Structure 1
């Protein structure tokens, strides 16, 4: 049985191909969003209860390999999984989509992390955050700006900054829809993480069409010595080789 750490489009597509190849797999979802899109095959939802709970699950479920297809910025999950699998001699693959690359007409500014945004974005500019709900608390140093933060499920808590609001939306989004939203809100800057992937590219295409500046937060490095794949068929080939 392969454990597929999921929650991304890449993970869902890989689960389909694993099922087509009759490779036993259970997809694990963190359960941070309401009504997640269904996966083909066995699925579990929720955390493991820390590292000890994760080890117990691997043993009890008879897991023989792990494919980590979580979000490229899910650093804590990736670090823990790589460490546990390495210690147990369990085959481990980090499957993550390629980074976005700027194209002609883009106005991108590279940021090392959330704190670095203050260096890049001038005070008082209007900002659209597309970095996920969990990162908004890290953006309070931008509270001098008008900020809109897009989330899948609107939090019950009030927006944590004085000049901002939640924007609800469930991806994928079309370029046309993103252009219409940006024209309505009139942001000066779009802030994104370099997550990569075709599904999230629409906001960047919309920003280019409207001449918006983009603050691109760089992707963290994967743990050293980890086997990585960026293409679905390469990840599938790895699973078939076990």
Structure 2
């Protein structure tokens, strides 16, 4: 049995390990957007498929029996492509998506998109921006004259507005380090997206402790008709089910 794991997350790496432990042939696919990514066990491919058509060809020519979409909750493109390609190839698909974060303060400002997040954040004076490199362009104009701390994993080409500070770091982060960073840069507004999980949760706890606003970008709605599980164990159980039960 061959399983294609669309990965790039901690859950995807854990899933690959457990499937290999159960003697399942696993191929993990990474988008290749992060330099020096943490690689899972088993076979790994890096790079895109070439849209729905390319993924459909890959599924057929590589003898894939099942697909687990364990990409980031905001990876809309590949999730949509996987749903369409698997439907066309008649290959079972499951979405492994960790639960979103819960607001324990009752004060988060939830927004529908990054553009709305940028407009709301413009009301702050010191902004901590942690939405990732692919969305930075949405914030440059609304926050171009603000004092902003941007945290990203890999360096970016190009210039940032003069009032912006860029911090390169990779999680997990601790409560103490997040609190120290936010105090050092006098942050009063945290902008993030609802990634979920423990890897980057500490910034939310630090913001609550310091009384900073939290602007949370809600997750996009996933492809219709795709079964979703919340834990790695549930995904393993799905893979090990008889084929007729997975469909």
Deviations 1:106-128 (A, max 9, x none): 63111111121255334352111
Q: Check the 8 A contact 1:193/1:216 in 2, yes or no.
A: yes
Deviations 1:2-35 (A, max 9, x none): 1000000111111111111111110011111111
Q: Check the 8 A contact 2:56/2:88 in 1, yes or no.
A: no
Aligned counterparts, 1:1-242, within 5 A:
1-104=2-105, 107-123=107-123, 125-140=125-140, 141-159=142-160, 161-241=161-241, 242=243
Aligned-partner SS, 1:192: strand
Aligned residues: 240
Q: Check the 8 A contact 1:154/1:167 in 2, yes or no.
A: no
Q: Check the 8 A contact 2:153/2:170 in 1, yes or no.
A: yes
Please, which moves more after superposition, 170-179 or 48-57? 48-57
Please, which moves more after superposition, 81-90 or 49-58? 49-58
Deviation at 1:38, TM superposition (A): 2.1
Deviations 1:187-219 (A, max 9, x none): 110000011111121111111121111000111
Q: Check the 8 A contact 2:59/2:89 in 1, yes or no.
A: no
Q: Check the 8 A contact 1:124/1:144 in 2, yes or no.
A: no
RMSD (Å) for aligned C-alpha atoms: 1.5
Q: Distance in 2 between matches of 1:55 and 1:194?
A: 30
Q: Distance in 1 between matches of 2:35 and 2:120?
A: 34
Deviation at 1:147, TM superposition (A): 1.6
Q: Check the 8 A contact 2:149/2:167 in 1, yes or no.
A: yes
Aligned-partner SS, 2:114: coil
TM-score normalized by the length of structure 1: 0.94
Q: Distance in 1 between matches of 2:62 and 2:222?
A: 26
Gaps of 5+ in 2: none
Please, which moves more after superposition, 139-148 or 192-201? 139-148
Aligned-partner SS, 2:115: coil
Q: Distance in 2 between matches of 1:118 and 1:196?
A: 20
TM-score normalized by the length of structure 2: 0.92
Q: Check the 8 A contact 2:121/2:191 in 1, yes or no.
A: no
Deviation at 1:83, TM superposition (A): 1.0
Aligned-partner SS, 1:120: helix
Q: Distance in 1 between matches of 2:124 and 2:218?
A: 23
